[in-house]
Amino acid sequence: MRSDTMTQVYMGIDLGTGGCRVGLFDDRGRPLAFHNTPVTAIHPHPSWVEQDVDEWWRALVASTRAALARSGIDPAQIAGIGFDATSATLVALDGAGKPLRNAIMWADVRASEQAGRASEIDHWARLYNGEGKDPASAEWFVFKAMWLKENEPDVWARSAWILDAPDWMGLRLTGRPAVNLCSASLKMYHNNDHGGFPVDFYERLGVGDLMDKMPSQVNAMGEPLGTLSPEAAEELGLVAGTPVAQGGIDAEAGMIGMNVLAPGRMALITGSSNCLLAQSAIPLYGAGMFGAHTAALVRGQYTIEASQASTGSVIRWFLENSAKDLVEAAKTGGPSPYEVLNEASKDIPPGSDGVLVLEYFQGNRSPYTDAKARGTITGLTLSHRREHIYHAIQEATCYGLELNLRTMRAAGYEPRAITACGGALSSPEWLKMHADVTGLEITVTEIQDAPTLGSAMMGALAAGRFADLQEAADAMVHYSAVIKPDPARHEEYRYWVDEYAALFPAIRDIQHRTAERAEKSHKAGAEEQRDEAKARISGTVDGDTTGLADFTTMLGDGGL
């Protein structure tokens, strides 16, 4: 039983690319405990990214129990639960709710051919893709569904549910199937101004039956979803019957946790990828950006979005491959490799002494929507050191942000200021670089983990503590600093942003040819390995049992 005299606590769940994070907050937004449990990304082929769905749940259980233990909070004090997860992350479940394969993650772009077919269709659904002028994104949910149906027909036929990751989370917590309106609008072409889901568009793409595998109930973020099921409560160490709010996409949960719920400010959510989001009172469309998405965050408003597929992940790639000594030293008590490289690069001028990077290591999401775009480092000489490349990668993430801001301005949205959260805030130098490159003030929230806070705020709505998201944000979101741009450095950076903007169009055709060549080589190599393994399997008849080991391994990877 939950006592009315107990201090009420609200739980936020953030299922991100790198792990499952749980945060506990009071109704003033004060953090009481956090815990993150890492999850592993699997890269079976170039540009493919998968994760084990069961590992997500194990990570949630571990994080929940650890946060409770760390805080000393009685589970009966948790009055409401909210959640978020990555979106355009496809989960296929059987009738018992068991996953039939690994989740196909948001960053996976295997469905580029399927998305290409959609780009040829004239339909109102395509308004979200730069008013129909931009290619459809291979990341989006419907194209992954197409890929699954066409390439794994057995999995498709056995699937009772094809869900986005947030909707898997809601089902797992409550047992109640629902589609969150945020994912529907931002990743599935749902448009309230045109009647909802574009069923005829799906039919033209050959996946009209997708609607039969998705829940019919559609809820906005923060609206009631259900209550915590007895089975989930037992595993999590919580109380059955605890109210659970409808969750949604992690980036939009971050907007809630940053109080970017009305037109005016922009939200910059930094991490493995960067999301730039804003609310508009009117629909705005333009080449190079996503939206304006109807009711994705607040009913009656429009959400516009631009994003970079790989930012912090490129920094990590660089550290793992070019600064292993610093990474290993940090494990034995040495300083963070970020600290070392920030110190080493602090006097490098804007432009990194001529080194220019395109951070498109996982393709480009906006403004080009190009799954075949690739990372690029140019301008290197024998005088450059690794800190130059590190500094240039940091600058590239800022240049990409400014290029997206230019795109939004061209569509009629004039950003006045940015509210930021996430990984970039841990580096004052990198955060200041964002301000200098864009020329905009950047406000920093006290709670950098805005998605987890935003999810807890949705939990507070489910508990009845607040009437709406805006009231919750006014009470629970607080600010710690404002970073002002340096006008002189901003002016100097204009040149480098112009060069950055010119680089990809200049090498696009080369990148496409080499990406296609590499993909063909990979496929040919994979087919050769399978043919060799099949031949060795046949050798088991003659006593060559090594073939059996190959066969078992291949079955574990999805079979022949």
Percent of the chain with pLDDT over 70: 93
Confidence of residue 546 (pLDDT cuts 50, 70, 90): very low
Length of the chain: 560
pLDDT at position 319 over 90: yes
pLDDT at position 541 over 70: no
Can you tell me the distance from the alpha carbon of 475 to that of 27, in angstroms, rounded to the nearest whole number?
7
pLDDT at position 534 over 60: no
Which pLDDT score, from 0 to 100, does residue 508 have? 97
Q: Is 484 exposed, middle or buried (0-12, 13-18, 19+ CB in 10 A)?
A: exposed
Are 239 and 75 spatial neighbours (Cβ–Cβ below 8 Å)?
A: yes
**Mean pLDDT across 450-474:** 97
Can you tell me the distance from the alpha carbon of 473 to that of 300, in angstroms, rounded to the nearest whole number?
18
Which pLDDT score, from 0 to 100, does residue 533 have? 55
Domains annotated for the chain, with CATH where assigned, are 9-249 (3.30.420.40)
Which pLDDT score, from 0 to 100, does residue 415 have? 87
The lowest-confidence range among 29-38, 263-272, 387-396 is 263-272
pLDDT one-digit tens code per residue, 224-254: 999 999 999 999 999 999 999 999 999 999 9
Q: What mean pLDDT, rounded, does the chain reach? A: 92
Which pLDDT score, from 0 to 100, does residue 106 have? 92
pLDDT at position 545 over 80: no
pTM for the whole structure: 0.84
**Mean pLDDT across 148-156:** 98
Are 284 and 292 spatial neighbours (Cβ–Cβ below 8 Å)?
A: yes
Beta strand 9-15 with 78-85 is: parallel
Which pLDDT score, from 0 to 100, does residue 422 have? 82
Which pLDDT score, from 0 to 100, does residue 526 have? 65
Which helix (DSSP H) or strand (DSSP E) does residue 210 occupy?
A: none
Q: Is 162 exposed, middle or buried (0-12, 13-18, 19+ CB in 10 A)?
A: buried
The lowest-confidence range among 202-211, 361-370, 462-471 is 361-370
Question: DSSP for 92-112?
Answer: EE-TTS-BSS-EE-TT--TTH
Q: Is 468 exposed, middle or buried (0-12, 13-18, 19+ CB in 10 A)?
A: exposed
Which helix (DSSP H) or strand (DSSP E) does residue 219 occupy?
A: strand 218-219
pLDDT at position 520 over 90: no
pLDDT one-digit tens code per residue, 397-448: 999 999 999 999 999 998 889 999 887 778 889 999 999 999 999 999 999 8
pLDDT at position 307 over 50: yes
Q: How many CB atoms lie within 10 A of CB 514?
A: 13
Confidence of residue 8 (pLDDT cuts 50, 70, 90): very high
Report the greatest alpha carbon distance in the chain.
77
Are 357 and 395 spatial neighbours (Cβ–Cβ below 8 Å)?
A: yes
Q: Token pair of 342, please?
A: 């920030």
